[in-house]
């Protein structure tokens, strides 16, 4: 699968621009602030119906405008798929596939797999557990529709339980009033946790292989699933934690509190990893996502690499680009400020690349 054509209208900094992409490597270069990352985010919109960087759709509409449009044409074998996304101020977004509008955007997730690697991915290491949960939930949801359905149902039940906790005194609630909620929440939570565990059993070895290749086996890293309750004991954990939950007015145990543990030489990557090691860790995670999606979907996801060369030494850059430019991978998009560096990297690999050079005035040069 590859994206052959992209049209943007009033999307972020672009008034109007069109791209014709190659099935292989496409590099978008230019100075900071010219909108390189915005092109990748537009591709992400077409795959996930949302921005990679913000949850507010109106932030993707060009300043002073009331509407933004992103259109893309994908090629998959002999099939051509046309996607259309329209964002309007104070209105629901419109998303169409081959001119047919979706009634539920969740039906689109996973049909056009895309893997993004961006500088903000460092938050996977430095920020709280919610970022890491969204990461793993986003992957599994692309390959398992039932998981996404269960996750949505679970989150709604937790919201309702939390609302009841805040009304405990007002409504003079009792412990027994929560049993009906916990009996619904517990099976869903067990199912979600088990799905995460099974996925990670396949994911972790692939991640480790990627990291070892990028780092040249220079250091040992690890990844583990940190559950907030023991398997098969979620209902009991909810009941035991009710007094505490009543006090803090929040459900303190469940898959919405689970985490992923990242370590380097047995210590937290967040505290002991250099910037280069942390970036290598994140890239290895994302490449493992690619490989698992490829295996499950039986097609090669599009890979978006945004400003990945910063903080990586030359050895790791060479290893990474050698890895992603082989036949294992499909269409690749890379952004960088230095067109010369792009040429040197891919000339060294003897790999063809199409380069789009942007300037501050949205002028596009292709070579």
Within 10 angstroms of residue 66's Cβ, the number of other Cβ atoms is 13
| CA gyration radius, the chain | 22
Within 10 angstroms of residue 133's Cβ, the number of other Cβ atoms is 18
Tens digits of per-residue pLDDT, 62-120?
999 999 999 999 998 889 999 999 999 989 999 999 999 998 888 898 889 999 999 88
Separation CA 54–CA 335 (nearest Å): 19
Task: Please list the residues that pair with 263 across neighbouring strands.
Answer: 222, 268
| Residue 191, Cβ density class (10 Å: 0-12 exposed, 13-18 middle, ≥19 buried) | middle
Residue limits of CATH 3.40.50.300 in the chain: 1-113+300-367
Say what the pLDDT of residue 262 is: 96
Contact 353, 347 (CB under 8 A): no
Contact 241, 224 (CB under 8 A): no
Say what the pLDDT of residue 366 is: 61
CATH topology classification for 121-298: Glutathione S-transferase Yfyf (Class Pi); Chain A, domain 2 (1.20.1050)
CATH topology classification for 1-113+300-367: Rossmann fold (3.40.50)
Residue limits of CATH 1.20.1050.90 in the chain: 121-298
Task: Please list the residues that pair with 364 across neighbouring strands.
Answer: 358
Q: What percent of the chain has pLDDT over 70?
A: 96
Instruction: Find where tokens 């003897």 sit.
Output: 350
H helix intervals, 127-254:
129-143, 145-166, 168-171, 179-215, 234-240, 242-248
Tens digits of per-residue pLDDT, 213-270?
888 888 899 999 999 999 999 999 999 999 999 899 999 999 999 999 999 999 999 9
Separation CA 6–CA 333 (nearest Å): 13
């Amino acid at each position: 699968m590859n994206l052959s054509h992209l049209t943007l209208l009033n999307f972020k900094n672009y008034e109007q621009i069109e791209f014709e992409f190659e099935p292989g490597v496409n590099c978008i270069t230019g100075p900071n602030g010219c909108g390189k990352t915005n092109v990748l985010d537009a591709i992400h919109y077409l795959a996930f119906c949302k921005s990679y960087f913000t949850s507010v759709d109106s932030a993707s509409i060009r300043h002073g405008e009331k509407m933004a449009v992103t259109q893309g044409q994908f090629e998959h074998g002999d099939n051509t798929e046309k996607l259309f996304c329209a964002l309007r101020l104070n209105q629901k977004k419109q998303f169409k596939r081959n001119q047919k509008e979706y009634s539920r955007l969740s039906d689109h997730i996973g049909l056009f797999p895309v893997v993004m690697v961006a500088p903000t991915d460092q938050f996977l290491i430095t920020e709280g557990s919610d970022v890491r949960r969204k990461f793993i939930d986003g992957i599994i949801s692309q390959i398992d529709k039932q998981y996404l359905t269960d996750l949505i149902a679970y989150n709604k039940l937790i919201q309702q339980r939390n609302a009841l906790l805040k009304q405990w005194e007002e409504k003079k609630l009792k412990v027994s009033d929560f049993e009906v909620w916990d009996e619904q929440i517990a099976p869903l939570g067990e199912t979600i946790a088990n799905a995460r565990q099974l996925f990670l059993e396949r994911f972790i070895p692939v991640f480790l292989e990627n990291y070892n290749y990028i780092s040249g086996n220079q250091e040992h890293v690890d990844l583990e699933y940190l559950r907030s309750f023991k398997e098969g004991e979620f209902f009991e954990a909810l009941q035991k934690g009710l007094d505490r939950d009543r006090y803090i007015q929040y459900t303190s145990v469940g898959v919405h509190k689970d985490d992923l543990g990242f370590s380097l030489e047995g210590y937290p990557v967040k505290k002991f990893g250099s910037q280069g090691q942390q970036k290598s860790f994140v890239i290895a995670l994302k490449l493992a996502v690619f490989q698992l999606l490829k295996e499950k979907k039986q097609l090669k996801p599009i890979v978006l690499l945004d400003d990945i060369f910063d903080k990586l030494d030359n050895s790791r850059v060479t290893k990474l680009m050698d890895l992603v430019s082989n036949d294992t991978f499909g269409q690749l998009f890379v952004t960088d400020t230095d067109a010369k560096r792009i040429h040197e990297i891919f000339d060294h690999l003897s790999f063809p690349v199409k380069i789009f050079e942007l300037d501050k005035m949205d002028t596009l040069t292709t070579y």
